[in-house]
Amino acid sequence: MDEPNLVERQLRSTTVYSGSVLRLRVDDVELPSGRRSRREVVEHPGGVAVVAVDRDSSVILVRQFRYPVRSALWEIPAGKLEPGEDPLRCAARELEEETGYRAGVLEEVVPFYTSPGFCDEVLHLFFARSLEPGDERPDEDEVIETRRVSRAELDDMIARGEIRDGKTLLGLFMAIARGLV
């Protein structure tokens, strides 16, 4: 931070829960005004998400049951970073695990925070091209369905509200803006 006057200063930190995916802590902080407040913070390892574009400019979507929202969502391939894992390596791994494809070209587009008001999760968004079949098969406990979707079909799915996952909408709109799909 180059503007220390903006900083909310940590006075006390209490870890409430430490699980396999998340940690939750509750911190007492001092605001720049001098007032005190409390912050509930979810710590998450961060992850990657991959817009994989095929030779014919179609995009590969996967469908997964998402327990917190009790429904199956169409998403771009994505996954959590292992401790110390490089995002590029993670993107290659998750793409192959979830879709069976390897990417000849894999470039990071942007890292972004999913919900910085209460969570430190960073997602690294990648574009993947020059797809070739790999060796991995999707884990049946994770991915339900894989589908190649053309630009026209994407536009329909978006217009009908069938894509409800934020990272997927962002990845698709960025790929469209760059003329990739």
Residues forming the active site: 140
180 binding a copy of itself? (CB under 8 A): no
Based on the shown chain and the rule CB under 8 A, indicate whether residue 20 belongs to the binding site for a copy of itself. Answer: yes
Query: Taking the complex as a whole, how short is the minimal distance between the CB of residue 47 and a copy of itself, in angstroms?
Result: 8
Among 107, 144, 147, 156, binds a copy of itself (CB under 8 A): 144
| Pick from 28, 25, 24, 26: nearest CA to 11 | 28
d(CA 51, CA 46): 17
User: In the bound complex, what is the minimum distance in angstroms from residue 22's beta carbon to a copy of itself?
Assistant: 5
State how far the Cα of 2 lies from the Cα of 19, in Å rounded to an integer.
33
Window of 53-61, 95-103, 146-154, 172-180 that interacts with a copy of itself by CB under 8 A: 172-180
Q: Please give the DSSP secondary-structure letter assigned to residue 162.
A: -
* Pairing assessment for the beta strands 59-66 and 47-52 based on DSSP bridges: unpaired
Q: What is the DSSP string of 51-90?
A: EEB-TTS-EEEEEEEEGGGTEEEEE--EEEPPTT--HHHH
Give residues 119-138 in contact with a copy of itself (rule: CB under 8 A): 119-123
Binding site for a copy of itself (CB under 8 A): 1, 3, 6-8, 16-17, 19-22, 24, 26-27, 29, 31-33, 35, 37-42, 44, 65-73, 80, 110-123, 140-141, 144, 158, 161, 164-167, 169-170, 173-174, 176-177
